[in-house]
Structure 1
Amino acid sequence: MVDWSSLETVFLDMDGTLLDLHFDNHFWLEHLPLRYAEHFDLHPQEAKDRLIPMIMAERGSLNWYCTDYWSDRLALDITGLKSEVGDRIGYRPHVTDFLDALHGSGLRSVIVTNCHPDPLELKLKLTGLADRVDAIISSHQLGKAKEEPGFWQDLQQLSPYQADSTLMVDDSFPVLESARKAGIAQCLAILAPDSQQESRRHHPEIPGIHHFDEILPALRQCQSLTSGR
């Protein structure tokens, strides 16, 4: 599923890949509509009916992920509201074991996320994730979402990489398709990003796993070979 021996760099999405997407889904679909309803004196369902189409209209764009954009548009402190449900932020199964094995393998691990810097700071504070990878890059630093074709070329400015020796792991099929078109040699989909929802179907062309324990044995074998050299 992954040819570890051919890799130098592993790009990792964060939300839905390393961290449980339940936090983000709960926030946008439940907590935000509730707070929006309270703020504007609306029925919760009326608030949800107003918010969800507005949010979905920005899907795939940088605005979709931008805390500043939604704070301005909705007249609410989005980062502050996210901190109210911060107890839901947590790792997906087997992630810490995977990251430890990745570190031991000698491969460079870089989080490449669409998460805005403000909620990113909150998540890093609550998880200690920054200590487990070599670097973290937010698409907001480049002004382009990962779904956009130009993102991967611009990423070279912040994290130079050889596309033919790079793996991208993400729960978003559009992001993985964008990475493949940009020449990223290997892509891997996460099929169970939200612990409270059913798994997604496999992509017809991109291999997928539910959890990292499915690829840990091969990675650890690569780690053993590396340490034995």
Structure 2
Amino acid sequence: MFPWHKIDTVLLDMDGTLLDLHFDNHFWLTLVPQQLSTQKQISLAQAQVLVEQSYHKVVGTLDWYCIDFWQQQLDIDILTLHYSLVERIQMRQDSMPFLEALATAGKQRILLTNAHPKSLELKLEHTELARGLDGMMSSHETGYPKEHPEFWKQAFAKYDLDPSRCLFVDDNENILEASRLARVGFQLGISNPDSQKPNKDFIDFPAIDDYQLLHQDLLAAVKG
């Protein structure tokens, strides 16, 4: 699928790409409205409308991904709620074999996530993800989300990357496009980010639903 001899570094999203997005979808679309309904003594339907309106106002910005912002905006202890749901934090079953295959093939593996550092810490604590990475960076370190060109400029500088020799993997097509505009050489979508939902279609980028599809190519890359 890719000319691996032209790729030195694989840049990887976290939620929906290496971790099952079911945790985040359940948290933000079910648990938060339930908590808001109880706390404000309003109906669940009213709470869902309130939450969706709040989300819509900041989608694609750094606030969208910020735990501190949502704690203040919704007056809910978001971090404590996260900890109440840790059993749902799961890696995709194909993630670690893929990360290990990348290492065997001599590829650098860097996590680039919009997740808030507190959320990132929680997920690293409850998975083996860190073991499969050579570096990691949260957009909150830069002050810009991955949707913004400044994020990519800072990521390239931090890890001294040649963007043309990078592959970026993400489940969000808008962010894949942002990486292409930042001159990242190769993009790959993940069509099944949430294990409990149907696959989604990608329009402008190749996409897979199983990293095993890349293993033969990686083995060939190792053999040269």
Give the structure 2 partner of residue 206 of structure 1.
205
Deviation track 1:115-136 (CA, whole Å, cap 9, x = no partner) reads 0000110100000211111011
- 1:223 is matched with 222
Contact in 2 for aligned 1:168/1:186 (Cα 8 Å): yes
**In 2, Cα distance between the equivalents of 1:91 and 1:223?**
25
Deviation digits for residues 137-174 of structure 1, max 9, x if unmatched? Answer: 00000000001122211222322200111000000101
Q: CA RMSD in A?
A: 1.1
The aligned residue for residue 58 of structure 1 is 58
CA distance in 2, matches of 1:213, 1:57: 38
Identity of paired residues, percent? 37
**CA distance, structure 1, for counterparts of residue 127 and residue 213 of structure 2:** 23
Q: Is the 8 A contact 2:11 2:167 kept in 1?
A: yes
Amino acid at match of 1:198: P
CA contact (8 A) 1:93 1:212 kept: no
Cα distance in structure 1, aligned partners of 2:216 and 2:87: 31
Q: What's the counterpart of residue 40 of structure 1?
A: 40
| 2:78 corresponding residue in structure 1 | 78
Q: What is the CA distance between 1:192 and its match in structure 2?
A: 0.7
Q: TM-score by structure 2 length?
A: 0.97
Structure 2 residue aligned with 1:118? 118
Q: Does 1:192 align with 2:215?
A: no
Q: What 5-or-longer segments of structure 1 have no aligned partner?
A: none
Instruction: Identify unmatched segments of 5+ residues in structure 2.
Output: none
Q: Which moved more, 1:49-58 or 1:9-18?
A: 49-58
Q: Does 1:23 align with 2:14?
A: no
Q: Distance in 2 between matches of 1:104 and 1:171?
A: 24
Matched, 1:108 2:105: no
Amino acid at match of 1:140: H
Q: Give the number of equivalent residue pairs.
A: 224
Structure 1 length-normalised TM: 0.95
Moved more, 149-158 or 55-64: 149-158
Distance between the aligned counterparts of 2:134 and 2:154, measured in 1? 19
